[in-house]
Amino acid sequence: MPFAGLGLHIIIAIFFAVHAVRSGQNNYWLFILLAFPFLGSVVYFFAIYLPNSRLQRHARQLTSNAVRALDPQREVREAQAAFDYSPTAQNEIRLAQALLATGQAETALTHFEASMKGPFANDLDIRWGTAQAAYEAGQPKVALRHLQAIAQTDIHYRAEPVGLLVAKSYAALGDQEMARKSFAFAHQQSSSFDVTAEYAIWAAEQNDWISAKQLQAELEKSMTHWGSQQRSLNRELLQRLKTAFAKQP
């Protein structure tokens, strides 16, 4: 029996040793795990393995979401304080992202545009944030300018969300023919739920019920195996779909 216990300790230690190698941990962990199989495994589990586990990451994500729900302006306040103390480009970008996340698109756009005048002028992440802020601030023409610049630089950069925002920006500008082409292209490239749903909402708003119902059938098929959690995550989009289809003849 003691030998069986010793064997189990060694197996566990080897498991953690393999994890240490694959995750790029310092080599001294190999010595600790192999020299002290039981104690080393316990220490490695709590020091390295658990903090990096999916369960731990999920717990941190839930905690972060809860904090944002209870105090949605917290990140804005902290980002503003950091920017006021040190108005660097990095701090301005952080502030812009925090403002955009809380629906303050116009102010976010001002900071995004300011940050693009410095060393981040060609940063695609910043340009993408600028395009999002411009669209949310009711400036689809500005959004399109940045989206087109992204496509010219890297056609594969965030292809799905960029393509979707291009279509929505054309729709907001009133160019429904380009909106149709853009939605169709985005749907052809990625028939994800978000793309299909936005396309269906647009088609319903244009009274194109043939396209809208075809897209609705795709959505219903994809939702066949959805659970309550997935429906909850997509609650806002599902409500928009319901509203758009409420007026169908």
Are the CB atoms for 212 and 196 separated by under 8 Å?
no
Residues 6+ apart with CB under 8 A from 206: 176, 180
Position 81 pLDDT exceeds 80: yes
Position 130 pLDDT exceeds 90: yes
200 belongs to a structural domain: yes
96 belongs to a structural domain: no
Q: What is the mean pLDDT of the chain?
A: 82
Are the CB atoms for 171 and 194 separated by under 8 Å?
no
Q: How many domains does the chain have?
A: 2
Range ranked top by mean pLDDT from 7-21, 40-54, 67-81, 202-216: 202-216
Helix or strand run (H / E) with residue 38: helix 37-44
Range of the domain at 217: 195-249
The tens digit of pLDDT for each residue in 149-164 reads 999 998 889 889 999 9
222 belongs to a structural domain: yes
Residues 6+ apart with CB under 8 A from 92: 83, 111, 114, 115
Rounded Cα distance, 117 and 202, in Å: 35
The CA distances from residue 65 to 62, 74, 225, in Å, are: 5, 12, 25
CB atoms under 10 Å from CB of 138, counted, come to 11
214 belongs to a structural domain: yes
Rounded Cα distance, 238 and 241, in Å: 5
Confidence of residue 50 (pLDDT cuts 50, 70, 90): low
153 belongs to a structural domain: no
Question: Higher-confidence residue: 245 or 227?
Answer: 245
Rounded Cα distance, 131 and 128, in Å: 5
pTM of model > 0.75: no
Copy the structure tokens of residue 81.
């304080």
Are the CB atoms for 132 and 161 separated by under 8 Å?
no
18 belongs to a structural domain: yes
Q: Which three-class secondary structure state does DSSP give residue 247?
A: coil
What is residue 69's predicted lDDT score, i.e. its pLDDT? 53
Are the CB atoms for 10 and 37 separated by under 8 Å?
yes
109 belongs to a structural domain: no
What is residue 17's predicted lDDT score, i.e. its pLDDT? 74
87 belongs to a structural domain: no
Position 180 pLDDT exceeds 70: yes
Are the CB atoms for 150 and 124 separated by under 8 Å?
yes
Are the CB atoms for 129 and 98 separated by under 8 Å?
no
